[in-house]
Amino acid sequence: MKEKRKVVITGLGVITPVGCGSAAAWEALKAGKSGIAAIKEFDPAVFDARIAGEVKDFTTPDFLDRKEARRLDRFVQYALAAAWEAAQDAALVPDSMQACRCGVIIGSGIGGLRVIEAEHKNLLNVGPNRVSPFLIPMLIPDIAAGRVAMLFNFKGPNFATVSACASGAHAIGVSARAIQHGEIDLAIAGGTESCITPLGLAGFCSMKALSTRNDEPERASRPFDKERSGFVMAEGAGIFVLEELEHAVKRGARIYAELAGYGASADAYHITAPDPEGVGMALAMESALEDAGLAPEAIDYINAHGTSTAWNDLVETRAIKRVFKEQAHKVSVSSTKSMTGHMLGAAGAVELAVCCLAMKDQIVPPTINYENPDPECDLDYVPNKARPVALKAALSNSFGFGGHNACLVIKKVE
């Protein structure tokens, strides 16, 4: 069998509630800074949950004029900004690339919910003739990937992955497979989301999935803590430049890490709740480790899905124990959702970026708000303060409604 090609990460860009751009976001995460606050986008007074991880100080990229920006939902603008940062970080010169050998795959769990709500009001209040002709291309989740491909003139595989909170991780994993099997040499890949809207918030509130610690927003997201009471909605984007190793070396690219493993599975259990024993989660982790050719003992850090819901955090802990056995209590595990909130379809991509930056600086970000240990969640969650770690390999977990599981493994390139 033909040996699969190695895939490396040469650029990354993020838009997050704790900072726009990887440098600002990473400094905030290392410092244990929360990006959760009272919702500013609209008046949330009538909602049970009135807090979120909104992106702050975002500016429309310079390459978009005002008219063009108005025709793009915010989740697409976030993807474009993060993709531009990733391309700059990777020192890409798109015109020098073979366009048909470069793909763009970007996931989004929900897509343009904001424009759906706005145009539905137009339909009801002033009639169908006043609905924007840009409604459909503004709302469809694949438009982020399509618009980024237009930005760079990349003509290889181009589509979206839509698998709830695993969307970004699936996009990265599928992109890596396309490179490994020789379909393309380079991919722009990741996830993006922006659905903190009245309808989005109402839906999650009705599910009783959200934290209602409205008076203490910075303490609301508390993964693995005994007093966790729900996740906090958030928004953002994480985008990568992935390349075949020799392609990167030939152009002298700086390499963050090898994207060594990808595993995906289904719980096949429930529309929102995970399998109580974590079998599906464990299967995805085991598949990613096998793909990477690594034993569990080789992993130095796990960026957990860690949503701050009672059930997810317990089941993920069980799944980690199922895979890592006695090593489970030795590996550093943290949830950066304690600071960013849950970015839904963008979460897996942003959290893989965290793993890359952690490997670069040899420091693991903390799980903040970890104050009251849960006897059933008894791993090393790197409580409240970043920790230096000799980091050679890391695993990132992403689990979505519908039982969609995706795990990614990176390892240091010597």
Strand partners, 395: 302, 409
Instruction: Write down the pLDDT at residue 3.
Output: 80
Model pLDDT for residues 261-282, shown as the tens digit of each residue: 999 999 999 999 999 999 999 9
Instruction: Write down the pLDDT at residue 1.
Output: 53
Instruction: Write down the pLDDT at residue 414.
Output: 80
- Which parts of 245-361 are beta strand (E)? 257-266, 301-303, 332-334
Strand partners, 410: 259, 394
Could you tell me if 321 and 287 are in contact, meaning their C-beta atoms sit under 8 angstroms apart?
Answer: no
Model pLDDT for residues 195-251, shown as the tens digit of each residue: 999 999 999 999 999 999 999 999 999 999 999 999 999 999 999 999 999 999 999
> How many other C-beta atoms lie within 10 A of the C-beta of residue 124?
9
> How many other C-beta atoms lie within 10 A of the C-beta of residue 66?
7
Query: Is 165 one of the annotated active-site residues of the chain?
Result: yes
Residues 6+ apart with CB under 8 A from 336: 29, 303, 350, 351, 354, 365, 367
Could you tell me if 260 and 395 are in contact, meaning their C-beta atoms sit under 8 angstroms apart?
Answer: no
* Residue from 170, 195, 205, 305 carrying the catalytic annotation: 305
Give the residue from 89, 196, 75 showing the smallest Cα distance to 139: 75
Q: How far is CA 227 from CA 158, 222, 340, in A?
A: 43, 8, 18
CATH 3.40.47.10 assigned to domain 263-411? The reply is yes
Which residue, chain included where needed, has tokens 């003739």? Answer: 129
* Residue from 102, 165, 377, 407 carrying the catalytic annotation: 165
Q: How far apart are CA 40 and CA 59, in angstroms?
A: 16
Backbone torsions φ then ψ of 126, nearest 5 degrees? -130, 0
- Cα first-last separation, the chain: 26
Query: Is 407 one of the annotated active-site residues of the chain?
Result: no
Q: Where in the chain is the domain with CATH 3.40.47.10?
A: 7-250, 263-411
Structure tokens at 394: 């890391």
Q: How far apart are CA 287 and CA 120, in angstroms?
A: 43
Residue-by-residue pLDDT tens, the chain, 414 positions: 568 899 999 999 999 999 999 999 999 999 999 999 999 999 999 999 999 999 999 999 999 998 999 999 999 999 999 999 999 999 999 999 999 999 999 999 999 999 999 999 999 999 999 999 999 999 999 999 999 999 999 999 999 999 999 999 999 999 999 999 999 999 999 999 999 999 999 999 999 999 999 999 999 999 999 999 999 999 999 999 999 999 999 999 999 999 999 999 999 999 999 999 999 999 999 999 999 999 999 999 999 999 999 999 999 999 999 999 999 999 999 999 999 999 999 999 999 999 999 999 999 999 999 999 999 999 999 999 999 999 999 999 999 999 999 999 999 998
* Residue from 342, 355, 356, 377 carrying the catalytic annotation: 342
Query: Is 377 one of the annotated active-site residues of the chain?
Result: no
Q: How far apart are CA 23 and CA 21, in angstroms?
A: 6
Backbone torsions φ then ψ of 72, nearest 5 degrees? -125, 125
CATH code of 7-250, in short, is 3.40.47.10
Model pLDDT for residues 6-31, shown as the tens digit of each residue: 999 999 999 999 999 999 999 999 99
Q: Which helix (H) or strand (E) holds 350?
A: helix 347-361
Give me the helix-helix angle, 22-30 and 347-361, nearest 10°. Answer: 70
- Residue 358 in 3-state DSSP? helix
Residues 6+ apart with CB under 8 A from 3: none
